Amino acid sequence: MSSKRMATIMGVTYGIAAIMPFFVGDIRFIMHILIMCLIWAVVASCWDLIMGFAGIFSFGQVAFFVIGAYTSAILSVQWNVPSVVAILLAGVFTAGMGVIVGLPCLKLAGPYVALVTFGVHMTLMPVLRGEIGIALGSGGSQGILTIPPVNILGYTFSSANQIPTFYFTLFLSVVCTVIILAVIKSYWGTAFLALKDSEEFAMSLGVSAFKYKLMVFALTSFLTGVMGAFYGHYIGMLSTRMLELDLFCTLMVMLVVGGIGRFPGAILGAFITVTANELLAPLGAYRAVTLGALVVLLVLLLPNGVMGLWLKRSDAEA
Amino acid sequence: MLKATRVTKKFGELVAVNDLSFHVQDGQIYGIAGPNGAGKSTVFNLITGNYGYEGKIEFGGKKITGLSPYRIAQEGIARTFQIPQIFPSLTVKKSISVGSRFGARNGLDEDHVEKIIRFVELEDERTQKTGRLNLLGKKKLMIGASLATKPKILMLDEPMAGSNATEIKELMNLIRKINVELGVTVIIIEHFMKVLTELTEKLLIIESGSMICCDAPEAVTKNPEVIESYLGKAYAERD
């Protein structure tokens, strides 16, 4: 898909989101959902970049989100680091963790990468709840309950003043997804696709699998870590509950709904999934089953996700 | 130009390449042949750094042993694969650009990419996704992407496999053009002896990873040991 078409879809999606406060700005619940859509749009796009474009079956995206969230929260609460600095440091720390996780994955084939990265996800909860986590300031099983909101030049962005917070989140989300778009359309993106399609051939043409795979781990971990850090400051509290399978599955549904490797499908997937999840809330215990059935139906009708509606035949086949 | 000295590769108990030495001269078309499982493709994989090995391989006087495949590509050694490798997510032009962007020393050269597209005669397919190409198209694409790295040596692994007579003729002409017009040294693994005898100046025959002989094609096809172990008596008596 051309850059122009991708940018148009992103522009329309974010444009619609941008005017929503004019209609629903006074409904706190909807504004919260919109903010969450913007956060998940970035996380899902990062996952799409590493899995859909680079072909690395990383299942560690939620873990990186939580690492970013906890790092920034601990820096702010324990060390009184200003929130903006803490968010950036959390992004850098998460990128470092991404590289550390990525290194052993370079020697592994698809399913084993999934196992290693999901192993990191599964290990994180006991670490944060255990003695190491408590020593670092994770708050153990109770979590961190008093995370200060983002403060820029004395102006506070928190759940108490949602409209400015919404626009700040929109700004962050747009910046992060534009970075992802730029990467996809740059020679980095070409290297990712070439390595995904045929690593052997790509390397024989001078593409360094080591360099580009680590780059994608670092970049996606950084952006995910930044959004995780922002999430912590926005919500004001964190617990390891995020590491249970609900969020992991919901994120995966976002990717499937948007279309894996069909950026900016992940952004659409995030908006559709979060909205559908909330609309189905009255179904109670049947919500997950209904959402699952809708996903199965969507996969059957649109194997390329909702992006399949915009894809040319040649793109769809590829 | 390319010199392998006492190269040995073992996979566990199996000796795939055994104490092999050879020397490819600048500007040559050099053939490698041998029965299935002789270790021909393994030799390519050793040269391109896909496997570690004992011994030494030098390219242009520089030791390339231990370099990773992408570094070897950037040094000027390009290769194609027996089973065509393509990038289904990319168009023909973009696939060829990969070679230029990442493999050539001076980075992406749009003019060179266009020249290569014309050279391998894929002008009409340049905007197509590579998955839609036929077998010949895929082979030309692989060769084109490899040439885009501006190699000094191009190694072709069974380029004629699965091709009909017309396609073989076309590929042979392309290989000659690569050697003569672009001045690229070519190493070719092939089973079609006719192709090797018509194209190559020197032919290395290996069996079970060891060299049987290395000589001009006319001499090789008359070598009793080669006839016995690879070509068969029917080949020797065909005239």
Dihedral (Cα; B43, B47, B49, B50), 10-degree rounding? -30
Residue A63 belongs to some domain of the structure: yes
Residue of chain B whose alpha carbon sits nearest to that of A54: B89
**Residue B238 backbone phi and psi in degrees, to 5:** -65, -30
- Chain A residues with CB-CB distance to B under 8 A? 187, 190-191, 193-194, 196-198, 200-210, 261, 314-315, 317-318
Cross-chain residue pair B142–A208, CB shorter than 8 Å: no
CB-CB neighbors (< 8 A) of B97 in chain A: 190
Per-residue CA distances from A251 to A140, A173, A234, A246 (Å): 25, 16, 19, 9
The enclosing H or E element of B217 equals: helix B217-220
Per-residue CA distances from A160 to A26, B101, B215 (Å): 12, 50, 84
b/e A104-113 (16+ beta carbons within 10 angstroms → b) = ebeeeeeeeb
Cross-chain residue pair B103–A206, CB shorter than 8 Å: yes
- Tell me what pLDDT residue A108 has: 86
- Does residue B55 carry a pLDDT above 90? yes
pLDDT digits (tens, 9 = 90+) for A10-27: 999 999 999 999 999 889
User: Average pLDDT for residues B83-104, to the nearest whole number?
Assistant: 95
Cross-chain residue pair B102–A207, CB shorter than 8 Å: yes
Question: Percent of chain B at pLDDT above 90?
Answer: 82
The answer, yes or no, to whether the previous bond of A303 is cis (omega within 30 of 0) is no
User: Average pLDDT for residues A189-218, to the nearest whole number?
Assistant: 95
Of A191, A197, A198, the CB nearest to B102: A191
Residue A33 belongs to some domain of the structure: yes
How large is the ipTM? 0.92
CB-CB neighbors (< 8 A) of A203 in chain B: 68-70, 73
The enclosing H or E element of A127 equals: helix A110-129
- Tell me what pLDDT residue A313 has: 57
Q: How far is B203 from chain A (nearest CA, A)?
A: 24
Residue A160 belongs to some domain of the structure: yes
In terms of CATH architecture, what is B2-236? 3-Layer(aba) Sandwich (3.40)
pLDDT digits (tens, 9 = 90+) for B96-110: 999 999 999 888 999
Q: What is the CA radius of gyration of chain B?
A: 18
- Mutation target to probe the B interface, by most B beta carbons within 10 A, among A205, A212, A317 is A205
CB-CB neighbors (< 8 A) of A193 in chain B: 87, 89-90
Q: Which of A155-164, A208-217, B124-133, B138-147 has the lowest mean pLDDT?
A: A155-164
DSSP for B138-206?
HHHHHHHHHHTT--SEEEEESTTTT--HHHHHHHHHHHHHHHHTS--EEEEE-S-HHHHHHH-SEEEEE
Give how many domains chain A has, as a whole number.
1
Q: Using 50, 70 and 90 to split pLDDT, how confident is the model at B239?
A: low
Report the first-to-last Cα separation within chain A, whole angstroms: 11
d(CA A70, CA A128): 9
A156 lies in which domain range?
3-242
Residue A267 CB burial class (10 angstroms; 0-12, 13-18, ≥19): buried
pLDDT digits (tens, 9 = 90+) for A86-132: 999 999 999 999 999 999 988 887 789 999 999 999 999 999 999 99
- Tell me what pLDDT residue A160 has: 82
A237 close to A27: Cβ distance less than 8 angstroms: no
- Tell me what pLDDT residue A314 has: 52
Residue among A143, A149, A222, A181 nearest A53 (CA): A181
Residue A268 belongs to some domain of the structure: no
Residue A317 belongs to some domain of the structure: no
Residue of chain A whose alpha carbon sits nearest to that of B47: A204
Enumerate the domain spans of chain B: 2-236
